[in-house]
Each structure stands twice: as C-alpha cells, then as structure tokens.
Amino acid sequence: MKIDYKKELETASKGMIMIHDPKLLIKLIVRMIVRKLHIRHAGMILYEPVKDSYALSISRGEIGVKVPAGFTRFTKTSPIIRIFNRKEFKPLTFNPNAILSEDINRLLWHESVISNGNGNGKLTKELLRKVDEQMQMLNSVACVPAYYRHKLMAILLLGEKRDGSRFEQEELDFFAALASDAAMAIRNAQLFEDLKREADRNRALFLQTIEVLGSTIEAKDAYTHGHTGRVTEYSVAIARHMAASGTAQFPESFFENIYIAGLLHDIGKIAVPESILNKTDKLTEAEYAIMKQHTLRGDEMVRPLSLPKECLEGIKHHHERFDGKGYPDGLKGEGIPTAAAIMAVADAFDAMTSDRPYRKGMSKEVAIEEIKRCAGAQFNPVCVKAMVELYSAGKI
C-alpha cells in the first residue's frame, strides 16, 4: 500500500507539538517510522542542552538490530556531529536532506570529488571514513539532520528497509520535513521543561522564557515578525487604560496575566502547516478550518504550565466576536472573558496595520475607524473605547 506522506506528516506534526517531554516525543516519532515505513531499525541522536552534547536517546526496531538507548554520547567534535554542523562539509552530501552510506562509499572511491569539495582531501576522506564507521556502529544506512534556526537539534538514524530496497527521494523528503518539524517540537519541549524548572526559582526568568516560547511561532510564520510583541503591548495598554479610566477593575495580577497571554496567543499556530500559514492567496474553507484550530491547540499546549485562568482564556478565546459569530466556542457579549475581549481588539488592530505579502497594511487612522465601526458587533465596546482613547492620546 502506497503511503500518503503528506497526510502522515500532518498527523505527526499535530501530534508531536502537544508533547512537552522531548524523549517521549522522539520515542513516538521513531516508533511511527519503524511501524509505518517498514524500516528494520530507527533511532535518534538528541542534543542535550544541560550537558551541551549529543546522545543516542531512543532506538526502536528488530531485536539484534536496534542500538540500546544511551549506548553512546557524542561531543560536538564527533565526526557524525561535525559533518552536519560545519558549513565546509555541505558539498559532501549528494542529497540535500540526508547522508547515505552509499553516498559516502561513492565519495571515498572518488577522491577528486572530496578534494574539490573541501580543499583538503586527506582530512575530509578520514572524516568520511569515521562517519561511515559510526553509522555502521549505529546500524544506520541514512542520517537525517534536524535543525532549529541553524542549530543541530537531533539526527534521525535510519536502518535498512525490510525489503532491502534503497530509500527513494520521496521518502528522504518526508524524513527531512519530519525532522524539521521535530526540531521545532523538540526545542519547544525543551523550553517547556525550562519553564517548569525556572518558574519555581525565578519569576523574571519565567517571563523571559515565556517570551522565547512565544517567539517560536515567528520562526515558522515569516509574516508575523513583531506581531506577538505588538499585540502584547497593545493588550496591556488597553487593560491599564480601562483600569485608570474606571471602566473596569482589575487586580495587579491581571496585567501580568494578559501580558503572558499576549505572548502566547498564537502559539497554537506551530501546529498549523507552513503551507497554510505562509499562503499568499485566500485560504480555502478547509485551510481556514485548520487555521482556526490554533486557538484550541494553543490552549492545549500551555495547560501543562498551570497558567492563571486569564492566560488560558486569552489564548483560547481571542477570536470570539461580541455578536457570537467568532470561534472556537461562539461566545457572545459579556460571556467573552475580558482578557480575550481586550486581545481581540489588539490582535485585529495589529493585523490591519501590518504589511502582508498579499496586501499593504492600513494606516493606524484607517484601522482605528474600522475598529470603531465594528464596536458592538465584532468587538466589546468598552475595549474599543479604551483603544480609541489611547490612539487619540498618541499612546498607540
């Protein structure tokens, strides 16, 4: 039966982003590869930030073929790490997505290719031999790197296919895409681990880590650069103004909670395929339905952090409408949590005033008029009043 690689990738991506334990995450990825793609063995070398080194973390497959987890640790100078970490070795790979043992053997037979690619044929040939030895030790015929912002997060190790055939390009492309999503998910999971560890020790450090976590979506969605920070800034300003003008009463903790919610309001977009996030044309109904899931995904992702209620409400409900026509729950009027109602105005204002590849952003003046027009329909009128007064005072 032919495998639908696109479907498998989407399923894997959605599942992995919800897991906040890096080792459990890669265990599920490796298990899926072995089971569905009929490979005799698969494993993953994972970067461990605390030790600043790499270790064989998970291995799955046939008894006698799989390599025990924790079997070996790799420093940054280890051949199998160096060949993926150093730019000068990039020309050595025939395939842009992986290093195959058959390609290494071909290079070793063609010394001129090695010399032309790297200027020092003898040293490069020795490196390739050592990489080949390590791959044999790990029972692997292919290695696929997983990068996050050019940092090597993991290496996916692939053993032979059960039918003995070679890997096709479609399969290697799938593994490369899977590794890319896995790298972001691993980094995300590591950040969640950092959050839990540091929250007990230092509140300021907790907020700094939240900021980094919130910025991960901008690494995937090239057109939202700065959006998270601006929505956070606008949301806090609206809340402060509502309190100062007497239209609302908030405890001091509310302002920190809406700050956190602003930073994380779009975190669920990590689970949305890049083809949808960065599409320049109008989304289809099916694509829009996937996009709308980001509010629920975000809520699910951050729940293990035990954030205050306002944070969760802001993340989940910032696309609700005052007239009840929003999502995900169609909340209406005063039934919409205040943090979410504030963020809805801030999010819409920034969306309107930001450039996109398919349109130029509006001026703030035009955007404010649109916000005023939608008061009582899309937006809570009290939140709109605060936003308009801030704009009139030159504070936004």
> What b/e string do you get for 324-341 counting C-beta neighbours within 10 Å, with b at 16 or more?
eebbeeebeeeebbbbbb
CATH number at residue 259: 1.10.3210.10
In a domain, 343, yes or no: yes
Residue 164: per-residue pLDDT: 82
Residues 182 and 219 in one domain: no
Instruction: Provide the 10 A C-beta neighbour count for residue 112.
Output: 8
Please tell me whether residues 74 and 213 are part of one structural domain: no
How far is C-alpha 370 from the chain's CA centre?
Answer: 32
Does residue 22 share a domain with residue 168?
yes
Residues 23 and 111 placed together within one structural domain of the fold: yes
Q: What is the pLDDT along the chain (396 residues), one digit of tens a residue?
A: 566 656 665 666 666 666 667 677 777 777 777 777 778 888 888 888 878 888 887 777 665 545 555 557 888 889 888 888 766 555 555 566 677 777 777 766 665 445 444 455 566 778 888 888 888 888 888 888 888 878 888 888 888 888 888 888 888 888 888 777 777 777 777 777 777 766 666 666 666 677 777 777 776 666 666 888 899 999 999 999 999 999 999 999 999 999 999 999 998 888 888 788 878 788 889 999 999 999 999 999 888 888 899 999 999 999 999 999 999 999 999 999 999 999 999 999 999 998 776 678 899 999 999 999 999 999 999 999 999 999 999 988
Q: Are residues 141 and 267 in the same domain?
A: no
Residue 37 lies in a domain: yes
Q: How far apart are CA 294 and CA 296, in angstroms?
A: 5
Q: Which two tokens stand for residue 315?
A: 């993340």
At residue 294, the pLDDT reads: 93
Looking at 159, 186, 213, the residue that finishes a domain is 186
Asked if residue 140 and residue 182 are part of one domain, the reply reads yes
The strands making up 99-100's β-sheet, listed across from edge to edge, are 73-74, 53-61, 41-48, 151-158, 142-148, 99-100
Q: What is the pTM of this model?
A: 0.58
Q: Give long-range contacts, CB 8 A cutoff, 24+ apart: 207-215.
A: 207/256, 207/259, 207/260, 210/260, 210/263, 210/264, 211/263, 213/188, 213/263, 213/264, 213/267, 214/263, 214/264, 214/266, 214/267
Statement to judge: residues 369 and 234 lie in one domain? yes
User: Is there a single domain that holds both residue 45 and residue 168?
Assistant: yes
Residues 6+ apart with CB under 8 A from 152: 47, 54, 81, 84, 85, 145, 146
Domain at 71, CATH number: 3.30.450.40
Helices and strands per DSSP (H, E), number in the chain = 17, 6
Contact 343, 228 (CB under 8 A): no
pLDDT of residue 282: 83
pLDDT at 65: 47
**Domain end marker among 186, 213, 228:** 186
Q: Residues 98, 210: one domain?
A: no
Same domain, 182 and 207: no
Residue 134 belongs to some domain of the structure: yes
pLDDT digit string (tens) for 55-108? 887 777 665 545 555 557 888 889 888 888 766 555 555 566 677 777 777 766
pLDDT in tens, 4-29: 656 665 666 666 666 667 677 777 77
- Structure-block tokens of residue 335: 């039934």
Asked whether residue 289 is domain-assigned, the answer is: yes
- 155 and 250 fall within a common domain: no
Residue 196, domain member (yes or no): no
In a domain? residue 192: no
Measure the CA–CA gap between 185 and 375, rounded to whole angstroms.
38
Single out the residue in 133, 161, 186 at which a domain terminates: 186
202 token code pair: 């230092």
Contacts of 393 (CB under 8 A, 6+ apart): none
In a domain, 195, yes or no: no
209 and 272 part of one domain: yes
Dig out the tokens for 29 from the structure.
């990825």
Domain that holds residue 72: 5-186
The closest alpha carbon to 143, from 42, 253, 234, 34, belongs to 42
Is residue 339 domain-resident? yes
- Structural domain count, the chain: 2
